[in-house]
Structure 1
Amino acid sequence: MVYRYESDEDAFLEYPERGPAPVGPVAATPPPAGPSPSRFPTPSLPPARATRPALEDARAPAPAPPAPVPAPPREPTPVPQPAPPAPQPQPVPAATARPTVPVPASPAFRTTDLPDRSRNRRAGRRGGGRVWQALIGGAAVLLLLSLTGLAVAALLDERADTPPTSAQTPPATVPESGPPSRSDLDSRDTDQATLTAKELFPGKQLVVTDGRPAYRVLKTQASADCAVAATGEIADLLVRLGCNQVVRGTLRSPDGDHLLTAGLFNLTDLASAQRVRDRIRPLLDDRQGRFRGLSAGEGTEAVEKAAARVGWQVRGHYLAFCVVTRADGERIPTDDAGAREIMYDLIELHLNRTVLDHRAAGGTAGQPTGGPSEDSTGQHGTDD
């Protein structure tokens, strides 16, 4: 059975471990001898070991009876003797008193041995508060550490970006020689090398595409006078816009039916080349000038005098052109597929993709080019 204590006084009283619980209040001293004043009979229990105070009372010697009062001496006259005092009742020793039900001694319980709910609740509140304080303190410490880390990282980045003043400037390194740098063909300032006839027509045979028959090179020419390759207003326009060189060659088609003159005009820059390109068609339509073919001797006069089909294209500060005639001097019809194929072979495949691409890849300037700056081809037939 569990006993609960309501105050500190009750904590030091002794309670039985077993046996029936007392019905009424427990007396602080043992009941007096004699019949029990309780209305409930005393339970007949086997005698148990008496407590230490009872044993000490039983072992103590009984008190001595009082000494009798001596009788007075007899006088001659008989004097009636007083009646002897009644013997006082001797106190009954505790051992002879009616024994009460002995209660086995049990160790005293203290309040510290039992849980205190109110104290536990207060301790729980204090413990919970301490936990929250610890959590808040830890979060504050983490926040402070993160801010400190950010500040340190920003400081390190700033130091890394700002080189120390005492650091020595590394010596300039000279780049190793490698393949020729690319050239910007948009201006003569970045493409200063002059054209040569060997650059445009390196041999007597000109193979435009592998596996196809070659064109036969009959004559080549490089001149600083651009007017030798044009007539009328076209020649004046070329000179006025800064043309300082023309390189051309006369060839015979693989089938032998056509003669052609193709080459490059070297102008100042891309803008001047585009202005020439835009003015050629109106001048041809108004018969105010034409491109002139280069005669290569007997049997090639038709390329210089006969009616021709003409094509041109701008790449950087160069104007590529091609004049195609029939070898027999007859007029070329507008639907002549052979003339169109010849102009494509010489202007696009040879002059643009072979000659000017090679110049752009190995020119004197170091700026790369993004390819042809202009790609427009015109065709026109003229009668002489």
Structure 2
Amino acid sequence: MVYRYESDEDAFLEYPQPGSAPTGPATPPPAGPSPSRFPTPSLPPARGAGPAPDGARAPAPAPPAPTPGRPAPPPAPAPVPQPAPPVPQPVPAATARPTVPIPASPSFRATTVSELPRSRRADRRGGGLWRTLIGGAAVLLLLSLTGLAVAALLDDRATTPPASAPTIQPGEADPDIDRSDLDSRDTDQAALTTKELFPGKQLVVTDGKPAYRVLKTQASANCAVSATGEIADLLTRLGCNQVVRGTLRSPDDDHLLTAGLFNLTDVASAQRVRDRLRPLLDDRQGRFRGMAAGEGTEVVEKAAARVGWQVRGHYLAFCLVTRADGERIPTDDATAREIMYDLIELHLNRQVLERRASGGTAGQPTDGPTDDSAGQQGSDD
């Protein structure tokens, strides 16, 4: 619906039909401006000086009087009363900052925004820094104590021998020191003797087993007396300055043997002799010589034999075995191999050199024995 802004005269004026006469005298319009169709309500006078308090609203205007011939406008909706906003609590001027009021509404309440003073914020920041520094120092102290404990534990393990390690008894030689003593004549200067290798007429290798009979012993500075051909030259060339040997009869009286030690310069020269022995024996370029010990023992010098040898430190141990009747020894002869093991490993290595080490004149090597054996043909002379 469209409302026109017209004067009140328009509402009461009847428009005559064409050709009709006026019904009465026309009333002249009043002087002055034409009144509005929507009259302005009169406001009551203000009570007291100053503006109206917050939340006070002007009274709603009265609806205009209905005009004849026109429908009355719909009444304006009644205003919803709004709750008065809460009054904020006063804050001391030294610490409070301006507050921001939030308009009141049906679903929100007024709040006050404030901040801590700068001094308190600085105190909080300073306290956090001190707490960080103290916590870091505590962590460093804990790490230092842990490191000291680990170091002490490692040091204790290093100084305390493990329970499984063998304990060296008084009078025994230290294996770590002994190994270097037997590697050279410079640290093992005492000469070998026949009494050291063969102290009596009976040689007991293992308790409970029959003894070997010692028939003859010899100590010589000429190593060539115990070998022939290229083997004798090899021993001399590599610095052999002593050989101690003995001739024995086996407990069963069926075998004769000659066994002993070659004294070389160092472990390297002894190993070079060991490595060259088999090729020379296989090519028949030399042989070990047995030592006769009287009537009925000549076969040990001339008969075919089985030979074994081993290096320990700067010594080369050897053993030559023949049959007492001069017959050839087969390669699978178990008795011959047992004799070589008894004389080389059990006697010369574990008894003679062990006794030398414990006496302080030489050391105890830790390298394992390197056994070898071969056959050699009998001598023609």
Which TM-score band applies after superposition, normalised by the shorter structure? 0.5 to 0.7
Return the alpha-carbon distance in structure 2 between the equivalents of residues 363 and 185 of structure 1.
11
2:121: which partner in 1?
A: 129
Structure 1 segment 1-384 matched on structure 2, within 5 A: 116=89, 118=91, 125-126=116-117, 129=121, 132-139=124-131, 142=134, 182-183=177-178, 184-364=181-361, 369-372=365-368, 375-384=370-379
SS of the residue corresponding to residue 281 of structure 2 reads helix
Q: Distance in 1 between matches of 2:225 and 2:209?
A: 32
Retained in 2: the 8 A contact 1:193–1:363? Answer: no
Q: Does the CA contact (< 8 Å) of 2:307 and 2:320 recur in 1?
A: yes
CA deviation profile, 1:14-63 (whole Å, cap 9, x unmatched): xxxxxxxxxxxxxxxxxxxxxxxxxxxxxxxxxxxxxxxxxxxxxxxxxx
State the Cα distance separating 1:141 from its structure 2 match.
Answer: 5.3
Structure 1's 128 and 305: CA in aligned 2 closer, same or farther, altered over 3 A?
Answer: same
Alpha-carbon distance in structure 2 between the residues aligned to 1:144 and 1:320? 69
Aligned sequence identity (%)? 69
Question: Post-superposition shift, 1:371?
Answer: 3.1
Q: Give the Cα–Cα distance (whole angstroms) in 1 for the partners of residues 335 and 269 of structure 2.
A: 31
Q: Is the 8 A contact 1:191 1:363 kept in 2?
A: no
Query: Which runs of 5 or more structure 2 residues have no equivalent in the other structure?
Result: 1-87, 97-111, 146-169
Structure of higher CA gyration radius: 1
For the Cα contact (< 8 Å) 1:309–1:382, is it kept in 2?
no
Q: 1:146 to 1:247 in 2, by over 3 A?
A: same
**Displacement after TM superposition at 1:260 (Å):** 0.5
What is the RMSD computed on CA atoms of the aligned residues?
3.4
Separation in structure 1 between the aligned mates of residue 364 and residue 261 of structure 2, nearest angstrom: 21
Deviations 1:257-299 (A, max 9, x none): 1010000000111111111112211221222211111111112
TM-score, with structure 2 as normaliser = 0.57
- C-alpha displacement at 1:134, in angstroms? 4.5
1:341 aligned counterpart, secondary structure: helix
SS of the counterpart of 1:219? strand
CA distance in 2 between counterparts of 1:266 and 1:141 reads: 73
The answer (yes or no) to whether the contact 1:312–1:379 under 8 Å persists in 2 is no
CA distance in 1, matches of 2:298, 2:197: 22
Counterpart secondary structure, 1:379: strand
Shift of 1:248: 0.5
**1:123 Cα deviation after fit:** 9.1
Partner-residue secondary structure (3-state), 2:208: coil
Q: Which 10-residue stretch deviates more, 202-211 or 374-383?
A: 374-383
**1:256 Cα deviation from its structure 2 partner:** 0.9
**Is 2:242–2:262's contact at 8 Å kept on the other side of the alignment?**
yes
Match of residue 156 from structure 1 = none
For 1:178 and 1:247, locate their aligned partners in 2 and report how far apart those are by CA, in whole Å. 27
- Determine helix, strand or coil for the equivalent of 1:221: strand
Counterpart AA for 1:370: T
| TM-score calculated relative to the size of structure 1 | 0.57
Counterpart of 2:372 in 1: which secondary structure? coil
- Higher alpha-carbon deviation: 354-363 or 234-243: 354-363
Q: Is the 8 A contact 2:306 2:373 kept in 1?
A: no
